Amino acid sequence: MTLLTSEGDVRKMRECGRIIREIFPRAEKRIRAGVSTADLDREIEDIIREQGAEPAFKGYKGYPATICASVNEVVVHGIPSDDTILAEGDIVGIDVGVKKNGYFGDAARTFTVGKISEEAARLIEVTRECLSEGISQAIAGNRVSDISNTIQRIAQREGFEEVRTFVGHGIGTHLHEPPEVPNWGARGTGPVLKEGQALAIEPMINTGTRNIRVLSDGWTAVTTDGKLSAHFEDTIIVGRRKAEIIT
């Protein structure tokens, strides 16, 4: 766990966040039917390098790309490909990590391609709400599970299921640090949050079963029932009264 104890540390994290925040609207402009996820990957890698930063995922445990691009039933870790062409009605999760000045930022958004189904739209809205309500629990003195339980409750209230196989995480001078931040669990358990602690909170919510399997490429995680999945993630800094969202 990295504790951001000086204004300098916080500024470096904010710089990572600024770069990621610039990426999403630029990616969104390119997202339309006919564009491949490899096109998006190249564009986003260029933006990151333009900013004097490095893609944090590339080479991480052998991951081959800058972004994860997860279409429809792909939950997370979709590998960008020239053969994955977006089509009208798709939803696509774009997950991006950057490293600059020794610090990391990590965030994801789920975008839409043209006109999508009502259920897809509701899934995206609910997943976004899971993230924002989860973040509202990231206050010093609360426990990790206050975030987790809030996410689980919102997903289930809407008749959706939260993915349990993958979790959010601490972040700072490494992409993944303790503690794990699950998207489910009983309130009042797990580590107590500290002011200045950076977390990547990342609900992955499915319209059907929460169960996933990983394809033979070793990365791509899909829902076992082929139903839709959405993913939103922000890097935040735990505050005394509220969290600071940096991405």
Stretch that binds Co ion, among 13-21, 79-87, 104-112, 127-135 (CB under 5 A): 104-112
Exposed, middle or buried: residue 154 (CB in 10 Å: 0-12, 13-18, 19+)? Answer: buried
Selected range binding Co ion among 7-15, 111-119, 193-201, 212-220, rule: CB under 5 A: 193-201
CA–CA–CA angle 104, 105, 107 (5° rounding): 150
Task: Determine the interface stretch with Co ion among 62-70, 139-147, 180-188, 192-200 (rule: CB under 5 A).
Answer: 192-200
Q: Is 106 in the site for Co ion (CB under 5 A)?
A: yes
Min separation Cβ 68 and Co ion, Å:
9
Please tell me whether residue 221 binds Co ion under the rule CB under 5 A.
Answer: no
Considering all CA atoms of the chain, what is the largest pairwise distance in Å, rounded to the nearest integer?
48
What is the rounded (10 degree) CA torsion for 121, 87, 220, 160?
20
d(CA 227, CA 183): 19
Distance of closest approach, residue 97 Cβ to Co ion, in angstroms: 7
* Interface size with Co ion, residues (CB under 5 A): 2
Q: Which is nearer to Co ion, 53 or 200 (CB)?
A: 200
Which is closer to Co ion, CB of 142 or CB of 235? Answer: 235
Q: Does residue 200 belong to the site contacting Co ion (CB under 5 A)?
A: yes
- Looking at the Cβ atoms of 12 and 77, the one nearer to Co ion is 77
> Pick from 187, 134, 130: which is nearest to 161 by CA?
130
Calculate Rg over the CA atoms of the chain: 17
Write out the residues near Co ion by the rule CB under 5 A.
106, 200
